[in-house]
Amino acid sequence: MPQTNRYDGASVLVTGGLGFIGSNLAHRLVTLGARVTLLDSLRPECGGNEHNAAGIRDRIAVEIGDVRDHDRLDRLVRGMNVVFNLAGTASHTDSMADPYTDLDINCRAQIALLEACRNHNSDAKVVFTGTRGQYGRPERLPVDERHPLAPADANGINKSAGEQYHLLYHRYYGLRTTSLRLSNTYGPRHQMKHPRQGVICWFVRQVLDGRPIRVYGDGKQVRDTNYVDDVVEALCRAGASAEADGEVFNLGGTPVGLADLACTLIRIAGRGNYELAEYPAASRGVEVGDYVADTRKIEQRLGWKAAVPLEEGLRRTLEFYEKEKSHYWE
């Protein structure tokens, strides 16, 4: 089993480090004793937020820059023990409205980072974050890593290509790369300005704003949910384990229908209601139906299993934004 104490004194780069998952990872890495550098472009539509570094800002290095900046990447990867490659776009609908930008960030920029590691630090471990969107509409449930990849949108295609480049660089050049295919991750430090990057946190905002939670379709569509601390734990284990090299792992935790999730959130908050609504045209085209992840591979190889129950995760998320909403609302 990988030992996260291997991060004590290690040099770690997190791309997308001021974003949702990247910043939560940074907080964890600091507690583990790592020397952490964050790279983030702070693109308004992506979710990077300087407040996400509150509490650790004096213990990390932050570079504001684009992951597509080859010269910057060449410099930053030098001397790094682990590179958590989290920078990317996450919106399904945005990827269809602007596929070129999605391609540029989720695919071309990934080659730039891998080339930087190959040429300037071939010993670095590189952990990539993929997505359940790579599978498209599942043929069977639960979905294991051998399930065919048939993305329903440009984001899923480009994330699949980015992942495949990481695996190729492992096979061809011997780089120590791995990919985690994330499901619906939620929790503190998520962007809260629009609903295009995470339905669960948008539900949280609607409750806190006193608006009905809008659930599209019949509300029965199932999503597999992970609280962000569990995702961070999986990332840390993958980064510390040689057994993860060249491998792909699904993440998942609590499958739940969206209407049931809304009801649970309302009950925990002690207020609110939800309403069913028709899918907007842009969302209807990228809806893939039920998704449940088979996580046996990462459980067996890395000893990881989601630990935070859905209700506890939602409670923590509500409490965070009730205190911090001034830093995340428009």
Residue 2 has pLDDT above 70, yes or no: no
pLDDT band at 43, cuts 50/70/90? Answer: confident
Instruction: Kindly tell me the number of DSSP H helices and DSSP E strands found in the chain.
Output: 12, 12
Token pair listed for 94: 């945005």
Residue 1 has pLDDT above 50, yes or no: no
Token pair listed for 270: 């002690």
Residue 138 has pLDDT above 70, yes or no: yes
Give the pLDDT confidence score for residue 102 in this predicted structure.
94
CATH number of 7-186+227-253+294-307: 3.40.50.720
Give the pLDDT confidence score for residue 3 in this predicted structure.
65
Max intra-chain CA distance, the chain: 55
Residue 139 has pLDDT above 50, yes or no: yes
Distance CA 40, CA 17 (A): 6
What DSSP element (H or E) covers 176?
Answer: strand 176-182
Distance CA 165, CA 49 (A): 28
| Nearby residues of 166 by Cβ (< 8 Å), 6 or more positions away | 85, 110, 114, 126, 128, 175, 177, 178, 179
> Beta partners for 215?
276
pLDDT tens digits along 80-120: 999 999 999 888 999 999 999 999 999 999 999 999 999 99
pLDDT tens digits along 252-269: 999 999 999 999 999 999
| Nearby residues of 37 by Cβ (< 8 Å), 6 or more positions away | 11, 12, 13, 14, 17, 60, 61, 62, 63, 76, 80
Q: What pTM was estimated for this model as a whole?
A: 0.96
Strand order in the sheet with 82-85: 60-64, 35-40, 11-15, 82-85, 125-131, 176-182, 248-250
For 271, counting Cβ atoms within 10 Å of its Cβ (0-12 exposed, 13-18 middle, 19+ buried), the class is exposed
- CB atoms under 10 Å from CB of 22, counted, come to 26
DSSP 151: -
pLDDT tens digits along 60-91: 999 999 999 999 999 999 999 999 999 998 88
Category of 113 on φ-ψ map: left (φ > 0), alpha (ψ -120 to 50) or beta? alpha
Question: What residue spans define the domains of the chain?
Answer: 7-186+227-253+294-307
Give the pLDDT confidence score for residue 197 in this predicted structure.
86
